[in-house]
């Protein structure tokens, strides 16, 4: 066998191994890219769903606010402050989840997601405020309804055990 043929056969074998290695690397990177793209798509869809749910709740809260504004305008000609608040409370209490915490403050909540809601709290005013409205927004925020439960399953040292260990040394 000619020495040139041995050298060319070895170079073909090395070239084949390098080509196979490069192809495996490309295949691995393409699979990883596909997995990342799918995860990003799921995350984007969840984010879009949450954003859409928030704006739906925001629209419902604004619709309730419009009902409150029309009620305030309806009774703005009341004889005095006491009758104004009494009439407004009688008209709005219980409607669309509206509750009064006191004579001048009302609140309502709009469901947002499974464990979230949009909570709104308003302070009513008999006299028109500086901006012409008869209310002031005290709270307009999302809140979690999930009950937090502490996990105390870790076997941590208490003070007595720690002091006993220190005394032994």
**Cα angle vertex 58, ends 56, 63, to 5°?**
95
Residue 20: pLDDT band with limits 50, 70, 90: very high
- Taking residues 4-13, report their average pLDDT: 63
Share of the chain above pLDDT 90, in %: 49
**Which DSSP letter does residue 157 get?**
P
Kindly report, residue by residue over 123-143, the tens digit of the pLDDT: 998 888 888 888 999 999 999
Residue 97 contacts residue 108 (beta carbons within 8 Å): yes
Better pLDDT: 130 or 1:
130
Residue 4: pLDDT band with limits 50, 70, 90: low
Residue ranges of the domains in the chain? 37-144
Residue 65 contacts residue 120 (beta carbons within 8 Å): yes
């Amino acid at each position: 066998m000619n020495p040139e043929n041995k050298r060319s056969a070895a170079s073909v074998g090395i070239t084949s191994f390098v080509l196979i290695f490069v192809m495996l690397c490309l295949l691995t990177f393409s699979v990883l890219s596909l997995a990342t793209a799918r995860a990003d798509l799921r995350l984007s869809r969840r984010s879009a769903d949450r954003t859409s749910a928030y704006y739906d709740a925001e629209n419902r809260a604004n619709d309730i606010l419009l009902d409150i504004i029309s009620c305030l305008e309806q009774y703005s000609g009341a004889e005095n402050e006491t009758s104004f608040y009494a009439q407004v409370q009688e008209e709005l209490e219980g409607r669309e989840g509206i509750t009064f915490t006191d004579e001048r403050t009302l609140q309502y909540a709009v469901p947002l997601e499974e464990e979230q809601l949009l909570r709104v709290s308003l302070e009513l005013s008999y006299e028109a405020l500086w901006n012409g409205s008869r209310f002031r927004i005290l709270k307009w925020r999302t809140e979690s309804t999930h009950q937090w439960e502490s996990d105390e399953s870790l076997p941590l040292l208490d003070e007595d055990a720690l002091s006993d260990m220190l005394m032994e040394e």
